[in-house]
Amino acid sequence: MSIRTRVAPSPTGDPHVGTAYMALFNWAFAKSQGGEFVLRIEDTDQARSSEASETRILAALNWLDIRWDEGPDIGGPHGPYRQSERTDIYRRHAQQLIDQGHAFHCFCTAERLAAMRVEQRAAGATAGYDGRCLNLSAAEVSARRTAGEPAVIRMRVPASGECRFHDELRGDIAIPCSQIDMQVLLKADGFPTYHLAVVVDDHLMGITHILRGEEWINSTPKHKLLFDYFGWPMPALAHMPLLRNPDQSKLSKRRNPTSIDYFRDVGYLPEALTNYLALMGFSMPDEREIFPKAEFLQAFSLDRVSLGGPIFDFEKLNWLNGQHIRGLDADAFMDRLEEWAINRQRLAPLTPLIQTRTERFADIAPQVDYLLGDRRPLSEEDFTHKKLSRDQVVEALFRTARACDAVAEWRRDELRTLCKANAERMGLSLGDFLAPVFIAISGRAVALPLFDSMAFLGADITRVRLREALDALGVSNKQRKRLEKLTG
């Protein structure tokens, strides 16, 4: 039987470098053995999923030249590949579990469940559904449902014993059933949760091997149970290590740039990024570190995967990127530079901003230096302001950073709205509030319009620059905590 793997991103934000990481390894594993690699979109979260995000994820993976054999854009024999288009399938399967006594309807409200969790947490136990609706009579269930009471479907879980499964990388893992929650499978809105959808789809799409992040180990028992309930064979599992921040926590946008678009925008080569990602937890048999994707594929093997969570190291990535850039011949170098920024698509959003400020083309480069390149390094003195105190400067920067995390869609007007609200909360005019932000983003007091600049730079670069500004000011932990409290 042919090997089939998949990557299954959720289109709920920027294309994450962790998605690229898992895609790369799944791709390499399948392709190294003549198998197929599938892209599936897990858009079952109605509130957070967006088409725009899906488009960007596909574009980002294409940019990295990680190609799939089946997916929402190109179809395939096991489609549709977008979970929002498969809801009938999940509903049928959830019903099947009900019919077979492996699942039950639950009418508990979100409020009750939240209160229950608080209580359980306080008592020091593993939080989990307490089973109130576990044994409702069929008559009661149907009466309440016909009365229009919202209900979810939960899976049943053995009360005792343990769940065992095999991990290709870690050996056998056993987790006590007491740790397995009676997971919601079908939400009140009729959409499946991840756990139902992933099991049903992996089976229906013929996935033979699941390479996924370590964060999923603890939910594997749920999946195993579901596979058993359905009478399906469980795919082979390999839980990869998680990419980490320098403080060893799971890589997060709060602390590091994580968007694939960030890496593109600041001028990393896609082949350098995939090369670097391949080095995270994998090593070549001959310990070579600079290699193209094709050779990674050829050499790939699960027993060359290491399990310690690798810290994402920009310095090494920079070195590697330099190696790839210097390896280009002059023509390729110019092509790649052109592809990066000196083209209409990239310059288009800048044009309305710079044209009115230009008398000679020579005026342009100095105006856009901080947009196409790094802005200059900052020091504390850069932030002295005639009206704002140091604390106010810090607070304004901090609030802006927080706003960046909160922004739903990274657009100029949305950013302005958020900043305006924060300025008001501080009792400052928008101009005064923005002064330090201007410096943080552009490194200058006079620059192109701020929100256009932020929009152009993107969330990650903006966040990085705000963080650097806060660092330059030497914000103490105490002050940071106070601000975190202040801004919720």
Residues that are catalytic: 253
**Binding residue (CB under 7 A) for RNA from 235, 257, 270, 281:** 281
Q: Which of residues 88-107 bind RNA (CB under 7 A)?
A: 106
Q: Which of residues 44-63 bind RNA (CB under 7 A)?
A: 44-45, 48
Number of residues that bind RNA (CB under 7 A): 73
Minimal distance, residue 460 CB to RNA, in Å: 19
Q: Near RNA by CB under 7 A, which window of 91-99, 123-131, 357-365, 422-430?
A: 123-131
| Cβ neighbours around 380 below 10 Å, total | 12
| Amino acid of residue 407 | V
Q: Which residue's CB is nearer to RNA, number 319 or number 438?
A: 319
Q: Which residue's CB is nearer to RNA, number 284 or number 464?
A: 284
**Binding residue (CB under 7 A) for RNA from 3, 59, 89, 113:** 113
Residue with tokens 């932000």: 437
Answer yes or no whether residue 145 interacts with RNA by CB under 7 A.
no
Minimal distance, residue 254 CB to RNA, in Å: 11
Q: Which residue's CB is nearer to RNA, number 116 or number 354?
A: 116
Instruction: Give the H or E element holding residue 320.
Output: helix 314-326
Minimal distance, residue 481 CB to RNA, in Å: 17
Minimal distance, residue 350 CB to RNA, in Å: 28
Q: Which of residues 292-321 bind RNA (CB under 7 A)?
A: 303-304, 306-311, 313, 315-316, 319
Handedness of CA 200, 202, 203, 209 (dihedral sign): negative
- Neighbouring C-alpha atoms within 13 Å toward the C-beta of 458: 18
**Binding residue (CB under 7 A) for RNA from 12, 33, 84, 417:** 12
Minimal distance, residue 170 CB to RNA, in Å: 4
| Assigned token pair, 303 | 């027993």
Burial 196-233 (b: 16+ CB within 10 A, else e): bbbbbbbbebbbbbbbbbbebbebbbbbbbbbebbeee
**Binding residue (CB under 7 A) for RNA from 108, 177, 337, 475:** 108
Edge-to-edge strand list for the sheet holding 103-106? 103-106, 152-155, 184-186
CA angle (197, 198, 201) in 5-degree steps: 80
Answer yes or no whether residue 20 interacts with RNA by CB under 7 A.
no
Q: Which residue's CB is nearer to RNA, number 315 or number 381?
A: 315
- Beta-strand ranges (E) seen in 57-157 are 103-106, 152-155
Answer yes or no whether residue 148 interacts with RNA by CB under 7 A.
no
Contact yes or no for 235/209 (Cβ under 8 A): yes
Q: Near RNA by CB under 7 A, which window of 27-35, 119-127, 137-145, 261-269?
A: 119-127
Q: Which of residues 173-232 bind RNA (CB under 7 A)?
A: 173-176, 179, 181, 184, 187-189, 191, 193-194, 214-219
Answer yes or no whether residue 128 interacts with RNA by CB under 7 A.
yes
Answer yes or no whether residue 136 interacts with RNA by CB under 7 A.
no
Answer yes or no whether residue 159 interacts with RNA by CB under 7 A.
no
Minimal distance, residue 135 CB to RNA, in Å: 18
Minimal distance, residue 223 CB to RNA, in Å: 11
Answer yes or no whether residue 328 interacts with RNA by CB under 7 A.
no
For the stretch 408-416, contacts whose Cβ atoms lie closer than 8 Å and that sit 24 or more positions apart, written own/partner, are 409/52, 410/455, 410/458, 410/459, 411/455, 412/451, 412/452, 412/454, 412/455, 413/451, 415/451, 415/454, 415/455, 416/451
Contact yes or no for 391/444 (Cβ under 8 A): no
The contact pattern for RNA, residues 232-251, with x = CB under 7 A and - = no contact, is -------x-xx-x--xxxx-
Handedness of CA 427, 430, 431, 434 (dihedral sign): positive
Give the closest residue to 236 by CA, choosing from 309, 165, 163.
165
| Assigned token pair, 283 | 């090593």
Q: Which of residues 464-483 bind RNA (CB under 7 A)?
A: none
Q: Which residue's CB is nearer to RNA, number 210 or number 434?
A: 210
CA distance 352 to 63: 27
Contact yes or no for 237/210 (Cβ under 8 A): yes
